[in-house]
Structure 1
Amino acid sequence: MNDVVKLLDENLRYISHEIIEDTLFIRVASEKLSLTCPSCSITSTKVHSRYERTFHDLPIQGKKVVYVINNRKTFAEQFLFLPYKAKKSTRLEQEIMKIAKNVSLLVAEKILNRGIAKVGKSTICNLLKKNNRN
């Protein structure tokens, strides 16, 4: 079975297989220790999380084939100006806070949407709450 898996990719390692009804499930894992970010071409070895990814392949001996890959998510690069999972830069959040502290939410929303960034009232409220906790 390892030879069949290696036909797909030399970096895949066969783990196990199971036949359920008319389908052959083949479990594989990647042997790559580092991955390159497609955007910036930086190599990363840090594993963020793992998840299973499935895909179908050509049948083998009349059985449908489903590969289950133990896939790794890696971080390629993190930036100081962009907090983890943030949708807005730190500078933009500071500007939103500066405007929102001096006027009402409705006025702040109008000012921000006019020339700075598309921001809703709920986003402004969430930022105010987050910064008041600190």
Structure 2
Amino acid sequence: MVIIMEKLFKSLDTELEILDYKIKSDKIIITLVSNRKNVVCPYCNQASQKVHSFYQREVKDLPIMDKKVILLLNTRKMFCDNPMCSHKTFAERYSFLRYKARKSERLIQRILDISASVSSMTAADFLSKNIADIGKSTICSLLKKNPTDC
């Protein structure tokens, strides 16, 4: 099971490693950590190895084996070594997540695909039962932010 999940999450980001997972009745909770040696500052593009602190991000993703998935990303907050940079610290970013997002890009795309053809109420009901706990207001917000996907 772990090997299969490792391969799934390597497709999101090749430098993610599974630390732990719990399978509950209707969901799978997976704890992940990045094993990057250097983290690039998004403000000045300089690599850093200096860790300020850690925090955990909770992110919803597409289901696995008909169970909703919650990713717990152990994320590093880093010091920027560039004295010319406008930011002293920055958080590690992931290619499969938008800045400060709580849903993976592929989950957002699935939400938009489903909600493009049905009402937001119908989409919310279907998504909550089958894919992820998503409400009508979340769908409406995503549709406003992504008008070309409608």
**TM-score (normalizing by structure 1):** 0.56
What percentage of aligned pairs have identical amino acids?
A: 37
Q: Partner residue of 1:24? A: 28
Residue in 1 aligned with 2:57? 53
| 8 A Cα contact 2:55 2:76, kept in partner | yes
Residue 125 of structure 1 corresponds to none
2:76 corresponds to: 72
SS at match of 1:5: helix
Q: How many residues were matched structurally?
A: 83
Structure 1: any 5+ residue segments left out of the alignment? 86-134
Residue 77 of structure 1 deviates from its aligned partner by 3.5
Question: What residue in structure 2 maps to residue 63 of structure 1?
Answer: 67
- Structure 2 portions without partners, runs of 5+: 90-150
TM-score between both structures, scaled by the size of structure 2: 0.50
Q: What amino acid does structure 2 have at the position aligned with 1:65?
A: V
Q: Deviations over 1:74-131 (max 9, x none)?
A: 011475xx9x89xxxxxxxxxxxxxxxxxxxxxxxxxxxxxxxxxxxxxxxxxxxxxx
Write the distance in 1 (CA, Å) between the matches of 2:44 and 2:11: 29
- Once the 2 structures are TM-superposed, how far is the Cα of residue 10 of structure 1 from its aligned partner? 0.2
